[in-house]
Amino acid sequence: MSCFKLPVKLCQQIESLMAKFWWGSLDKESKIHWKKWSTLCSSKLFGGLGVQSLIHFNQAMLAKQAWRILQCQNSLLTRLLRAKYFANSGFLEAKKGHAPSYTWKSLLWGRDLLKMRLIWKIEMQVCSKGLSMATNSISKTSISNISWNPPPAGCLKLNIDATIDSKRNKIEFGVVVRNDKGKVLVSLTVPSPGNFTSSIAEGQTLLHALKWCLIVSLPISCVEVDSKVIVDNIMFSDEDLSPLSDIVREIRNSLSSFLRITLSYVPRQANTLAHKLARKALELDDELVWNGFIPTSPHFM
């Protein structure tokens, strides 16, 4: 699967066997499939089981190979493919060419997915150029008029915040995902041991939230953080030996796993729900997820 594009019919036949196994274990009796396979492959938050689609998984594996070709310019495989298929252009601009091998056609299919995943870097750069302007405009605006703004139509927005309880050596994560109507799709509170600086706590919260969204297949498009230090480090800083740099590197890797995503700084007044969720975690000992609502508490009244 990591070297060649499998025929769609073959993937469908394998998925059919998987579905038959899922809905019953009797060999010679027909089974009722109560849900179609595409539903089972969707996220649990949307009524599915999070089962991997073989077609999508196959393309993701080939995209990983395409990334290696893009990164390892001096490898034997890259030099061989460059000499035959893209001697006068870059790998991302290479064409299929005349009489291409099946290996090359498979890599191009994986490259299509890779190119979509690279869009976030362009959006991050555009966002970073406007960050200082946005900060200046916020300082001139009445704080009382600042509130949460919904994402574009059809998109999901992630807000996160962290609270530090130095007396009990705990940090608390608050995560909330809302749609363009402002409806809460899912909220998350995570208590965690530790006593770190606010920047590291915010970075750990963002990293945990992004990884969690990837696990449950939440296609978020916008991320808002009320820590300007974290946003500046993700967008502008170079890697060093500090603990925060390690977290920033992992955050960048996680961001690159989303199709299209923007990161922006907002003041606390536009991030109140995530902040209250983080405060809610002070009362908890375990990670909790609320699907479609936020927990009932005096903090949220």
pTM, full prediction: 0.56
Segment among 206-210, 225-229, 288-292 with least mean pLDDT: 288-292
Rounded average pLDDT over 270-277: 88
Determine the Cα–Cα distance for residues 107 and 223; give it in Å rounded to an integer.
31
pLDDT in tens, 37-85: 777 777 665 667 778 788 888 988 898 898 889 888 889 989 999 999 9
How many helices (H) and strands (E) would you count in the chain? 11, 6
Determine the Cα–Cα distance for residues 155 and 297; give it in Å rounded to an integer.
28
pLDDT in tens, 144-174: 456 889 999 989 999 999 988 878 788 888 8
Rounded average pLDDT over 208-226: 90
pLDDT in tens, 84-129: 999 888 888 888 888 889 999 999 998 888 776 554 443 444 444 4
Per-residue confidence band for 195, with pLDDT thresholds at 50, 70 and 90:
confident
Q: In this predicted model, which residue has the larger pLDDT, 90 or 130?
A: 90
Give the right CATH number for 120-300 from 3.30.420.10, 3.40.640.10, 3.30.390.10, 3.40.190.10. 3.30.420.10
Determine the Cα–Cα distance for residues 236 and 244; give it in Å rounded to an integer.
13
Q: In the chain, where are the structural domains located?
A: 8-24+34-117, 120-300
